Amino acid sequence: MPTAHQQTVSNANAENRPLLSAENISYVIRGKTILDDVSLQLHRREIITLIGPNGAGKTSLIRILLGLSDASSGKVERQQSLRLGYVPQAIDVPEVMPIRVVDFLNVTGLYNVKQCQHMLDEVNCAYLLYSPMQNISGGEMQRVLLARALLKKPQLLVLDEPASGMDIIGQQALYETIRFIRDKHDCGILMVSHDLHLVMAATDRVICLNSHICCTGHPDDVSEHPEYLKLFGDAIDGLALYSHHHDHEHDLHGNIVDAEHCHSCEPGEHEEKWQGDK
């Protein structure tokens, strides 16, 4: 049911348009290529997880999508007046600032205490309303950051490693919360994650990043994709069971039909990088 502030999604055309799309994003800092020709689209109601090893450029990509950094080349298009919610891993609130959770949630002055209370309730942290920001734990901080992002009624919610600093139980609860949020707020969700198995269960699409997009698709497909196994094989099995000839990877694995493959993986350009496999 379209409401007054959902005009952007009121017609079928807008419905199908991506909330945000990035085309051929490259990001180079001091001669070092962090991101190489990355393209992706984020849609309403879709939960996308970005995985990749340390230094794969996950955070850089997110910063570019959010508009916090500028890409070296390529372009990012956001739907007009897109309401963005961002949940960073953690923030350091200066000790010298007296600020309670309620002040933090309502830093823009647009909400009332009741709305803040309600949103904290939704992330199961209602008891924190009047706690000083400096006194809350890492897991609580992430929930408070989530509540703050949700107050904006975001159309796109971006979470940077939302489960870091949580135990398994906390993580499971968090992913449940994230699905619930998608259903309730009807927003697109993009998250970055390290831990694979939990994430997989709560994701519509996985993007595996290592400077370039190695593979992308439904979690079940990606988890069998050679590029994915190559990056995470050790972590999954404790052994490097995987071996394949890079030249033939597409022919050998016909089952990954929805997965788009990025050209920079082709032999030739990355010869040196993949030589170890041959």
Partner 1 sequence: MWTDSFILYALAAGIALALVVGPLGSVVVWRRMAYFGDTLAHAALLGVALAIAAEQLPMAGVGLTGVLIAVLLFWLEKQGNLSTDTLLGILSHSALALGLIVLSVIQAQGFNINLMSYLFGDLLAVGPSDLVLMYGSVVIILLVFSQILSPLVSISVNEELARIDGVAVEKIRFIFMILLALVIAVALKVVGILLITALLIIPAATARLYSKSPKQMVLVSVLMAIAAVVLGLLVSLGWDFPTGPAIVVSASFLFFVSRIFVR
Q: Residues interacting with partner 1, by CB under 8 A? A: 66-68, 84, 86, 88, 91, 93-94, 96-100, 103-104, 107-109, 130, 132-133, 148, 152
Q: How far is the CB of 99 from partner 1 (least distance, A)?
A: 6
How many degrees, rounded to 5, is the angle at CA 55 between CA 50 and CA 60?
60
Query: In this complex, which beta carbon is closest to partner 1, that of residue 155 or of residue 223?
Result: 155
Query: In this complex, which beta carbon is closest to partner 1, that of residue 23 or of residue 103?
Result: 103
In contact, 158 and 65? CB cutoff 8 Å: yes
Query: In this complex, which beta carbon is closest to partner 1, that of residue 103 or of residue 266?
Result: 103
Strand order in the sheet with 47-51: 84-87, 156-160, 188-192, 47-51, 205-210, 212-217
Q: How far is the CB of 119 from partner 1 (least distance, A)?
A: 15
Q: How far is the CB of 78 from partner 1 (least distance, A)?
A: 12
Query: In this complex, which beta carbon is closest to partner 1, that of residue 153 or of residue 218?
Result: 153
- Measured CA to CA, the distance from residue 222 to residue 210 in angstroms comes to 14
Q: How far is the CB of 93 from partner 1 (least distance, A)?
A: 6
Closest C-alpha to 160, from 91, 110, 99, 107: 91
Q: At a CB cut-off of 8 Å and minimum separation 6, what does 193 contact?
A: 49, 50, 51, 161, 162, 163, 199
Q: Which two tokens stand for residue 167?
A: 């135990």
Q: How far is the CB of 91 from partner 1 (least distance, A)?
A: 5
Which 8-state DSSP code applies to residue 100? B
Query: In this complex, which beta carbon is closest to partner 1, that of residue 39 or of residue 106?
Result: 106
